[in-house]
Structure 1
Amino acid sequence: MSRMLHTSDWHLGHTLHGCPRTDDFEAVLAEIVDIAQESQPDLIVHTGDLFHTSSPSGLSLITAITVLRQLAAVAPTVVVAGNHDSPTYFRFFDMISGPSVGRGLYFVDQFRTAAEGGVFTFDACGGEQRIRLAAMPFVHPNRFWQRPALSTTTADYAEGMRGLQQQLVDAMREGYDPDRDVLFFAAHVYVTGARRAKSERQVSESFEVPPENLPQVSYTALGHIHRPQVVRGPAFQARYAGSPLAMDFGEVGEQKSVVIVDADPGRPIRTEPRSLLSARRLDIFEGTLDKLRADAARYDGTFLKAKISGEEPDVHLAQKIAEIVPNAIAVKLDLDLEPAADILVDVDPVEELELPDAFRAYLGQEGVTGAAADDTVAAFIKLLNEVDDEAPSPVLAEQLLSAALEDVWTETT
C-alpha cells in the first residue's frame, strides 16, 4: 500500500489584524511533522501558498526550509508554487535544498512539462509499488492570452488548463503498470463549486476549472481553498487539504487538517483527514458588554472579534473589552449600531449637501449620535479649515527639479 501525506496553504508570514501568528505556525507545523513521523508516508505533497506574500520575511524563509527539511527526512517532499508564492524563491530553494544537493525536497516553481520536471516517480512499499505524481503549480490566466485588445476569458482559461493538464497526465501514463503504479495529481487551482471561506477574497471565480476536467487518477491533491473539503463531481477523489490554521474570522469553526491518502494499484483509495489542534482558536462574540462579562472564560487564549451592541461610540470601549477578557487576544472590535434617524439631514434629494452636513448624515447612518456626533463633526470642520488655510506642501520631485534648475551644470571645453 502506497501512502501520501497532503498538506497545503501554510501562508507563512500571515498576521491577523496586525497580530503575528509566529507561535501558532510553530505549533501547527510541529504537529504536521509529528503526523508525518507517525504515519510514515511514502510521499509528502504541499499544494501551494507556502508563503503569504511573494516577498517573505527572513523568519518565514527559515521556518519554511527548516520544516520542509524535517518532512523530507521522513519521505520525499514535493512543493508546488501557489499564487502567493514567488517562482524565483522556489528556484532558489531548489538550488540550496533540492535533489541536486542530495535532499529529498522538490520545488515546482512554474508549469513544467514532464521533460522539464513536471512529473515525478517515487518507489513505495520497498519498491513493490511506484508512485507517479504530476505537479501543476498556479497558472496565471495571462498564459492563455491570445487575442489583442481582449482579456483571457473563463472559457479560455479552462481550455488552456485542460491542455496543460493533459500533457502531464499523458506523460505520467507512459509505461504505466496497472499492477504496480499509483497515479496522483497535485494542483493549485480553484475548482468550480468548491466552498470558500468568507475571508478568501483573493480567490477569483473568473478563472476556474470545472470538476469534470480533473484527471482520472487515484487522487487529486488540491491547494488554493482554505476550507478542507472533498470536491464533488469527478469520478476519482479530489480534495482540498485546506490551510493548517484559520487565516481570518471568516474561517471560524473550520476543522483544520492534513490528509493521509492510502492507495493500492487498481483499488479505491482511502483518505483520512488528521485534525490539527494546536493553533490558538479564533472566535466571534456578539452581544452586550454584560453578556461578554458572563462568558469571559470561554475566550481565554483566543483571538477575539467582538461585535458589541447597546453601547454608544466610545474611544475606551476596546480597553473595557480588554479588562473583561484579559486572557483573550482581542484583535478586532465592531460596534453593532442602528442608523440614527434623528440625526439624518432632511434635504431635497437633488440638493447637494455641504461637506459637514454630508458627514453628519453619514455618521447618523452609522449609528453615531448625540455628543459623539457633535464632537466628530466639529473635529472634521476644524480639519477642513486647516486644509483651506494651508498652501500645499511641495512634492519631493518638485523640490529636486527646482534645485536642479537653479544650479544648471554647463559643460566646459
Structure 2
Amino acid sequence: MRILHTSDWHIGRSFHGHATLDALRGVLEALAGQVRQHAVDLVVVAGDVFDSAAPAAAAYTLLTDTLRALADAGATVVVTSGNHDSAARLGFQSALLRDGIHIITDPAAVGVPVTVADEHGPLHVYGIPYLEPVLLRSVWPGVRTQADVVTRAMDLVRADSARRGGRSVAIAHCFAAGVQPTPHLERDIQQGGLDVVPLSAFDGVDYMALGHIHGRQQLSRAVRYAGAPLHYSFDEGAKPRGSWLVELDAGGLADVRWLPLPVPRPLATVNATLDELLTDKRFAEHADHWIRAEYTDPLPQRDPMRRLLARFPFCAEVRHAPVAGPAGDGRTYAQRVRAARNDAELVDAFLAHVRGGEGASPREAELVRELLDERTRVEAGT
C-alpha cells in the first residue's frame, strides 16, 4: 500500500499581499503527478486545506480540481479539517463527493475508518478533524486541552482498530511534542498557553500523518509532518517543500521516502547597505526571487521599497536593520539630558539615545548649529 502524506495547503493565503492561488495550483498539479508516477493508492491531507473560515469562490474551485485530479490519478483521498478551516464549509459537500474522496470534519466520525485494501488485506484510515476542547466537553467530559482531545480521539481509534484487526493509519492536526514551529507563522493551537500533544498519544497505529507545522519533520519513524506545499513565510524559505511517500506491507510500516515538490519562486533574504543591495553583483542571482531586503544603513533611507523594486521586481518586504553602533558610555537618556550644556548637546544626546550610542554626524551637527543660530536670530529680531 502506497500512501502520500500532505497537509497545510492553505488555499487562498496571500504572501505579503501577493496572491498565491496560481502558484499553489501548479504545485498541487505536481502533487497529482507524484500520485501517478509512484502508483499511490491513498492520499491523506492533514488539515488546513483552506487558509480561512470563509474562503473565496476561487479557492473552492482549486480544491475541487485538485481532489478530482488526485482521484483520477488512481488514489483514494482522505481529507481532514484543520484549525484554519471552517469544518462546516469544508465538509458541506462531503455527501455529494464521488466515490473515493472522503472529507472528515465531524468529531462524531472519530473512530470510524475509511477502509481500503490491497493484496495484504484491509487498511483502516482514521481521520481526526481539528478538535476544539471547549466544544467537546459535553461529549467527552473532562477534556480541557488539545492533548486531552487528541488523546481521547486516539483512544477511540485504538479501540476500533483492535476490534477490526489489520493495519491502521491516523491523521491529525495539532502541535506534537518535539516540533520546531516556524516563528509567527503557524497559528497557535492553545488552551491556556502552548498546548503540546505528547508523542505517546499517537501509539498504536502503523503511521501517524500530522498537519499544522509548515516544515517537514520526523518525530519518530511512524510520526511525521509533511509541511506546507508552498512557502508562506521568509522564515521557512530554506525548508524543502514536498510530501512523504509511505509504504506499508503485510507487517505494517515498511518504508518512508521524501518526494520534493517544485518551488515556483525561491525566497531569499539579502542584507547589506541600500547602495550595495542596489548595485552589488553578488545579489544578481536573486533578481527573480521573492526578496526580503534588510538594509544596514545607520539611518532610514528614502523610498527604499520603490528603489529596490527596480532591481528586485519581487521584493516583498523591506526592513531597516542598522548595524549595532557603539556601546555608548552607559548613561541613561535622562543622565545625558541633564549633562547637556546647550541645545546642540541636547540634540546630540537625543540622537545618541535613539541610535544606541551614536550621536550626530559632523554634517548633522553643522545643520543643528545652523538651525539653532537661525532660531536665536529670529528670537532676537535681527
**TM-score, normalised via structure 2 length:** 0.80
| 2: CA distance, partners of 1:110 / 1:365 | 54
CA shift for structure 1 position 145: 4.9
Alignment of 1:378-397 (within 5 A): none
Q: Which residue of 2 aligns with 1:256?
A: 241
Query: Does the 8 A contact of 1:111 with 1:139 survive in 2?
Result: yes
Q: Secondary structure, in 3 states, of the residue corresponding to 1:142?
A: helix
Q: Which residue of 2 aligns with 1:238?
A: 223
Q: Which residue of 1 aligns with 2:289?
A: 302
More displaced 10-residue stretch of structure 1: 3-12 or 302-311: 302-311
Q: Which residue of 2 aligns with 1:62?
A: 61
Q: Tell me whether 1:122 sits opposite 2:116 in the alignment.
A: yes
Q: Which residue of 1 aligns with 2:209?
A: 221
CA shift for structure 1 position 40: 1.6
CA shift for structure 1 position 68: 1.1
Q: Secondary structure, in 3 states, of the residue corresponding to 2:92?
A: helix
**TM-score, normalised via structure 1 length:** 0.74
CA RMSD of aligned residues (A): 3.1
Query: Does the 8 A contact of 2:154 with 2:201 survive in 1?
Result: no
Q: Which residue of 1 aligns with 2:162?
A: 173
Query: Does the 8 A contact of 1:113 with 1:167 survive in 2?
Result: no
Q: Which residue of 1 aligns with 2:82?
A: 82
Aligned residues: 341
| 1: CA distance, partners of 2:188 / 2:351 | 32
CA shift for structure 1 position 347: 3.2
Q: Which residue of 1 aligns with 2:125?
A: 133
Q: Which residue of 2 aligns with 1:396?
A: none
What letter matches 2:107 in structure 1? F
CA shift for structure 1 position 163: 1.9
| 2: CA distance, partners of 1:75 / 1:42 | 5
Query: Does the 8 A contact of 1:28 with 1:245 survive in 2?
Result: yes
- Aligned with 2:315 (options 330, 334, 341): 330
Alignment of 1:3-402 (within 5 A): 3-73=2-72, 74-96=74-96, 98=97, 102-113=98-109, 118-125=112-119, 128-143=120-135, 145=137, 154=145, 157-176=146-165, 181-204=166-189, 206-232=194-220, 237-292=222-277, 293-310=280-297, 312-325=299-312, 328-337=313-322, 338=324, 346-347=333-334, 365=354
Deviations 1:174-198 (A, max 9, x none): 231xxxx321111111101111112
Q: Secondary structure, in 3 states, of the residue corresponding to 1:231?
A: strand
Q: Secondary structure, in 3 states, of the residue corresponding to 2:334?
A: coil
Q: Which residue of 1 aligns with 2:378?
A: none
Which residues of structure 2 form unaligned runs of 5+?
Answer: 339-345, 368-382
| 2: CA distance, partners of 1:270 / 1:239 | 13
Query: Does the 8 A contact of 2:292 with 2:316 survive in 1?
Result: yes
**Identity of aligned pairs, percent?**
23
CA shift for structure 1 position 366: 6.3
| 2: CA distance, partners of 1:206 / 1:124 | 40
Rate the CA distance shift 1:212–1:54 in 2: closer, same or farther, 3 A: same
CA shift for structure 1 position 170: 1.2
| 2: CA distance, partners of 1:31 / 1:366 | 49
Deviations 1:207-265 (A, max 9, x none): 22101121221111111111101114xxx611101100111011010011111110112
Rate the CA distance shift 1:22–1:160 in 2: closer, same or farther, 3 A: closer
Deviations 1:95-128 (A, max 9, x none): 33x2xxx33211111323467xx31111224xx5
Rate the CA distance shift 1:10–1:140 in 2: closer, same or farther, 3 A: same
Query: Does the 8 A contact of 1:138 with 1:187 survive in 2?
Result: yes
| 2: CA distance, partners of 1:363 / 1:88 | 56
What letter matches 1:133 in structure 2? V
What letter matches 1:110 in structure 2? D
Rate the CA distance shift 1:175–1:312 in 2: closer, same or farther, 3 A: closer
Query: Does the 8 A contact of 1:199 with 1:251 survive in 2?
Result: no
Which residues of structure 1 form unaligned runs of 5+?
Answer: 352-356, 375-413
More displaced 10-residue stretch of structure 1: 247-256 or 274-283: 274-283
Query: Does the 8 A contact of 1:7 with 1:45 survive in 2?
Result: yes
Rate the CA distance shift 1:139–1:361 in 2: closer, same or farther, 3 A: farther
Rate the CA distance shift 1:239–1:324 in 2: closer, same or farther, 3 A: same
Query: Does the 8 A contact of 2:222 with 2:253 survive in 1?
Result: no
| 2: CA distance, partners of 1:218 / 1:345 | 61
CA shift for structure 1 position 201: 4.7
What letter matches 1:158 in structure 2? A
Rate the CA distance shift 1:260–1:346 in 2: closer, same or farther, 3 A: closer
